[in-house]
Amino acid sequence: MANRAIIINEIGGPEVLKLVNVADPKSPGPGQLLIKHTAIGVNFMDIYYRKGVYKASKLPMIPGMEAAGVVEAAGPGTTIAVGTRVIYATAPSGAYCERRLISEKYVVGIPDSVPDDIAVSMFSKALTAHYLLFRTYMVRKGEFILIHAAAGGVGQMLCQYAKHIGANVIGTVSTQEKANIARNNGCDYPIIYTQQDFAAEVMRITGGKGVTVVYDSVGKDTFAKSLQCLATFGLMVSYGQSSGNVPPINILSLAAKNLFITRPTLMVYNADKQALVLSAIEIFTMLENRVLKPSIYKKYPLAQAAQAHADMESRKTTGSLILTL
């Protein structure tokens, strides 16, 4: 049986994403599930692999780390039954396809109340917001924090969750339209960085004190100024590089305010299955209680994965991009 998939034969732009027929997966082995995908999440990590920012173990490769679907077959020793609706977001690349074999350790069930497209629109982004706000740094009520790309998929989840905690949320965006989106998702102080010096605005908003933590997925274009926004003993959380890799820094530049820097990843924070399950339970509960309100920007057929990548890289999108099957 044919299994349609998007493959990458070489590093490059969106045009290197090709739709092909690949061999259908074999029967699942011990600890494995065969999943028929219904919706696939498009994330910046997929773009990083396509561009070579993250090195693939080998080429050709099937990109994608997030998808929802139905268990078609289960190998020996698994605990998730055939027919169960499931989702994953911390697995190795390989999601841009119709069917996939995957270790059960990456997979959790989807509540009956949550449609597949909604689940895949928010799962990796909400997991990211959860570990950033509760584990990388425990944000507390009343603190001032800075979130870059506040109108993006992860940015919206961060704003919603942080506002629920009771933080004072400052966010950077590129346009007035995105400022409105960020504000509607819990951002108290949207800063249009194309019109304002965001570092100066942060210091004005905080009365010259700065923020306790910066969440930066942009990288090269924002990193240096983000350090200027931090209060004494502040934490710089660099969890992405949509504008390019962060340049080398002089560690002595951190000394004046005794700053901290970390580079966390979703996969490491949720490598333990128990941590993954507990995080998933919490974010689905927050979804059902409408604390988290996912936004789907656009759905694309699998064959249009290249267009989805191009749109995401344009930085004109807001919310989640999904590939459908």
**What does the pLDDT read at residue 1?**
56
**What does the pLDDT read at residue 174?**
93
Extents of the domains making up the chain: 2-122+270-324, 141-263
For the domain made up of 141-263, give the CATH fold: Rossmann fold (3.40.50)
State the pLDDT confidence band at 316, using cuts at 50, 70 and 90. Answer: confident
> In CATH, what number does 2-122+270-324 get?
3.90.180.10
In the predicted model, is pLDDT for residue 268 greater than 80? yes
Burial class (CB in 10 A: 0-12, 13-18, 19+), 181: buried
Same CATH fold assignment for domains 2-122+270-324 and 141-263:
no
**What does the pLDDT read at residue 315?**
78
State the pLDDT confidence band at 243, using cuts at 50, 70 and 90. Answer: confident
- Tens of pLDDT, residue by residue over 134-160, are 999 999 999 999 999 999 889 999 999
Average pLDDT in the chain: 95
CA dist 203 → 138, 180, 197, 198 (Å):
22, 22, 10, 9
Could you write out the three-class secondary structure of 42-87? Answer: ECHHHHHHHHCCCCCCCCCECCCCCEEEEEEEECCCCCCCCCCEEE
- Tens of pLDDT, residue by residue over 271-315, are 999 999 999 999 999 999 999 999 899 999 999 999 999 999 987
- Tens of pLDDT, residue by residue over 50-91, are 999 888 889 999 999 999 999 999 999 999 999 999 999 999
SS3 state of residue 271: coil
**What does the pLDDT read at residue 244?**
86
